[in-house]
C-alpha cells in the first residue's frame, strides 16, 4: 500500500531541529511546513484533551531530555517544534484515531488480498488516487508526444518487419 503523506507524518516520530534565523516570520512571511505541522499537532492535542493543556505525560510527549527548557510556561506539542533544542515527539493520536487507521488498513489489505492477481502497489486515499491518475495522464501524454523518437531507436525491428513482409 502507498498511503498519502499525512499517514506517514502522523504515525511516525517527528524530529525537529532549531529553526534558522532566515526562516523567521519577520524575514520570511511564507508559511513554513514547521508552522503548518505545529498547528495540526495543536489541533490533535486539543481534540484529545480539550479541557487542559498537555502536561508531558501523553504518548505524544517529547522524547528530548531538554524539552522542559522551553521559554513558554506550558508549551503545546506544536510549540515544541520551534524549540531551541532538537526535539523528537510522536503526534498525539487518540486511541479512536489509531483504531480507525488500523481498521482502514486491515480493510484495504483484506479487500485486495483475496484477488487472483492483487496489485503490487495499492494506492490509498482520494488524494493518492488523484495524484497517481494525474501522473499517469502526464506520462501518457509525454509518450504520445515522443512516440516516433522512442520507436526510432529500434533499428533491428524495422529490418525484421521488412524481411517478414518480403517473405510472405
Taking only the tens place, the pLDDT of each residue in 126-166 is 888 888 999 999 999 999 999 988 888 887 765 555 555 55
Question: Contact, 42 vs 76, CB < 8 A?
Answer: yes
- For 61-118, how does the pLDDT look when each residue is reduced to its tens digit (9 = 90+)? 444 444 444 454 677 888 888 888 898 988 888 888 888 888 888 888 888 887 888 8
pTM value? 0.47
Helix (H, G, I), strand (E, B) or coil at 16: strand
Look at residue 140 in the predicted model and tell me its pLDDT.
96
Task: Compute the distance between CA of residue 83 and CA of residue 80 in angstroms, rounded to an integer.
Answer: 5
Task: Give the pLDDT band of residue 56 (cuts 50, 70, 90).
Answer: very low
Amino acid at each position: 500500500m502507498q498511503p498519502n503523506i499525512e499517514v506517514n507524518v502522523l504515525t511516525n516520530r517527528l524530529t525537529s531541529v532549531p529553526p534558522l534565523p532566515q526562516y523567521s516570520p519577520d524575514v520570511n512571511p511564507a508559511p513554513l511546513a514547521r508552522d503548518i505541522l505545529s498547528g495540526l499537532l495543536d489541533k490533535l492535542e486539543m481534540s484529545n484533551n480539550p479541557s487542559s493543556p498537555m502536561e508531558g505525560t501523553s504518548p505524544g510527549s517529547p522524547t528530548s531530555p531538554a524539552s522542559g527548557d522551553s521559554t513558554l510556561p506550558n508549551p503545546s506539542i506544536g510549540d515544541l517544534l520551534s524549540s531551541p533544542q532538537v526535539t523528537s515527539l510522536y503526534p498525539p493520536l487518540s486511541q479512536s484515531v489509531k483504531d480507525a487507521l488500523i481498521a482502514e488498513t486491515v480493510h484495504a489489505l483484506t479487500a485486495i488480498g483475496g484477488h487472483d492477481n492483487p496489485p503490487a502497489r495499492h494506492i490509498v486515499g482520494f488524494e493518492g488516487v488523484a495524484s497517481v491518475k494525474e501522473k499517469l495522464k502526464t506520462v501518457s501524454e509525454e509518450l504520445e508526444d515522443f512516440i516516433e523518437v522512442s520507436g526510432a531507436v529500434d533499428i533491428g525491428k524495422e529490418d525484421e518487419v521488412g524481411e517478414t513482409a518480403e517473405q510472405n
